[in-house]
A = this chain, B = another copy of it.
Amino acid sequence: MAKVFGHIEGHPVGSRYQRRKELSEAGVHAPLRGGIHGNSREGADSIVVSGGYPDDEDHGDVIIYTGHGGQENKRQVSDQDIKDPGNAGLVQSALEGNLIRVIRGASGDPKHSPASGFRYDGLYRVESHRSKTGVGGYRIWQFRLVAADVSDEDGVTPFHGDTTHEPAPRHPVTIQRVIRKSAVTQLVKQLHNGRCQMCDQVLLVPGDSHYSEGAHIQAIGQPYNGPDVLENVLCLCPNCHVLFDYGARYLTDDLHIVDGVTHEEIGKLRTHRQHKIDSRYVRHHRGRWVATD
């Protein structure tokens, strides 16, 4: 089934459904089974939140959503795989900035769930994801979903049109790669003269200017709460920044760079004597992507 991002016409926020079949026929959540409608190629366009995983947390505008897989008879019996189509779909939607329809079912957290059946609760974006050992003792994947502010026209305008040549929206919407900036990130970029600490590239542009990004190792903001200090920031090119933020690169304690897909060492982080890296932050970042060592 093609993915359709954004609101479904005729199904405003708050719409109620008795059965999964109605949700499916409406196109609000297409599959009859499974909490995530998605795959790695197209992304995910909708999820059902219904308390199926004990590590789920529903805070209303923020949902910590556990990925799919590893359960038998509603018990976790094995690790979840990020390559599971639903999980990979949520990763792809995070990368694309796609908005995801959230449907809550009656068996979810009573504080935010309908008393019976299902309710369409609007659009959320995937702010970040990580893996961790769940309460069942197995590795799970978790996605932090944040309610999209639909009053903010940039980036969150409901985006109709699926990925298979449906009518284009009249105006391209803007999505953003968010880059945190502070005196600390500025200083790190200066110490490295804008040269990427991973791939050694400098993006030079006419005018003798260059572009680089300050990347926090332990992410700042919820739920990671890393500090904005020199020891927690890298100077990276945008490509390595994307790879680092999505777990395609992580660091060993002695600052070797590891490919997060193959888990092979592919180089060593270039350092600067005035810019020490604290291995606590390195371990925190690595812990999001590989089983804690």
Contact = CB atoms under 8 A, between A and B. Distances in A.
Interface of A: 40-41, 82-83, 87-88, 91-92, 95-97, 154, 159, 161, 163, 165-169, 171-187, 190, 201, 203-211, 220, 228, 237-239, 241-243, 246-248, 260-261, 289
A168 B180 CA distance: 13
Contacts of A243: 203, 205
Contacts of A237: 239
8 contacts: A40-B207, A163-B183, A172-B228, A173-B182, A177-B179, A204-B261, A205-B248, A238-B239
A208 B262 CA distance: 12
A179 B176 contact: yes
B172 A209 contact: no
A56 to B, nearest CB: 19
Contacts of A185: 172
Contact of A181 (B159, B165, B289): B159
A40 to B, nearest CB: 4
Q: How many monomers of this protein are in the complex?
A: 2
Given A40-B208, A168-B184, 4 more contacts: A176-B178, A204-B248, A206-B261, A239-B239
A82 B175 CA distance: 29
Given A205-B95, A239-B201, A248-B205, A179 B175 contact: yes
A45 to B, nearest CB: 13
Nearest to A228: B172
A111 B59 CA distance: 51
A43 to B, nearest CB: 8
B88 A207 contact: yes
A176 B97 CA distance: 13
A88 B179 contact: no
B161 A205 contact: no
